[in-house]
Amino acid sequence: MSDVLYINGRFTTTAERVIGVEDRGFQFGDAVYEVFKFLRKRPIFLPEHYRRMENGLREIEIRVPWDEGQFAEVVRDLLARTAFDDGIVYIQVTRGESERKHFYPDDLMPTAIVYSRAFDFPDAAKKARGIALVTADDLRWRHCNVKSVNLLANAIAKKKAQRAGADEALFIDDGIVREAASSSFFGVRDGGVITHPLDEHILPGVVRDRVVSLALANHIRVDERPLREVELFDLDEAFITSTTQGVMPVATIDGRAMRRGSITTKLQRMLDDDEVRALL
């Protein structure tokens, strides 16, 4: 099935082959992407996703193709043309197309694509069951704060997780828990939450940020510090967060059961309410 696709100022569908062979996104992974969720055709946390995309593009010196207003308009047009009400929007901005050389021209016109896609968000049973993680070496580059399309290490780690019958990989870097392959990681200890501080080792998750704010607003302590791998099984609870999974309890890590508790379910409910509020 093809989806509605925006490319460089026009709409088509994903059935059309639109990317040139010499696009630097294809040749070098020279691109930034973004994913947001929409419900009832309304984007969730759109300004936060735009800001992260803009920061990432600036950091690797790709020209930002839209200001925030233009971007919101593209999203509005795309969702108006979309046949379903709930799903995700995928955005990718590459440095553009030019003869394959490591040195790139300074004045390239970026390639910008945006498309919507239906998505099976976790239902109540899945949200209660939680997910299984397996640990994996963090082999990513050192600018994980940029949402770059270079996801080879993430894809290989996730495949390893899948082969082990798990859902997600948890990146460990020299004994430090960073984040999961496509989600942020939180531990709960003594009624407070622990999550990695914002730096070059993790993606600044939009949902991570919402959950930190919700926790603080509800008098739940937040300790932004690197967690050591040896602390994992001392946690009272653990959960991951992402645009597609929301707050999702961690049931096992490397086959070992994690303790379960009420902080995760509380934050899960608060985030769901927060998303609904964003629609009003």
From 88, 261, 251, 272, select the one nearest 168 (Cα to Cα).
251
126 is catalytic: no
Work out which of 32, 136, 169, 203 binds ligand PDD, going by CB under 6 A.
Answer: 203
What minimum distance in Å lies between the beta carbon of 204 and ligand PDD?
Answer: 8
43 makes contact with ligand PDD (CB under 6 A): no
Residue 213, C-beta contacts closer than 8 angstroms, at least 6 positions apart: none
The reply on whether position 242 binds ligand PDD by CB under 6 A is yes
Pick between residue 35 and residue 250 the one whose CB is nearest to ligand PDD: 35
The residue with tokens 């996104």 is 25
Q: How far apart are CA 50 and CA 71, in angstroms?
A: 8
Looking at beta carbons only, is 97 or 178 nearer to ligand PDD? 178
Closest approach of ligand PDD to the CB of residue 4, in Å: 19
DSSP tag of 217:
H
**Catalytic residue among 37, 127, 147, 158, which?**
147
- Report the distance separating Cα 38 and Cα 251, nearest Å: 27
Q: Which of 134, 206, 227, 247 is in the footprint of ligand PDD by CB under 6 A? A: 206
The region that residue 164 occupies, defined by phi over 0 for left and psi between -120 and 50 for alpha, beta otherwise, is alpha
- Binding residues among 152-181 for ligand PDD as defined by CB under 6 A: 179
Complex with ligand PDD: residue 94 or 242, whichever CB lies closer: 242
Q: Does 268 bind ligand PDD (CB under 6 A)?
A: no
241 binds ligand PDD (CB under 6 A): yes
* Distance in angstroms (rounded) separating the CA atoms of residues 271 and 241: 10
By the 8 A CB rule, do 134 and 161 touch? Answer: yes
Stretch that binds ligand PDD, among 20-28, 53-61, 66-74, 201-209 (CB under 6 A): 201-209
Give the nearer residue to ligand PDD in terms of CB position, either 203 or 270.
203
- In the shown chain, the binding pattern of residues 3 to 42 toward ligand PDD, with x for contact by CB under 6 A and - for none, equals --------------------------------x-------
Nearest-angstrom CA–CA distance, 132 and 111 = 37
**Which stretches of the chain bind ligand PDD, using CB under 6 A?**
35, 179, 182-184, 203, 205-208, 241-244
The residues carrying an active-site annotation are 147
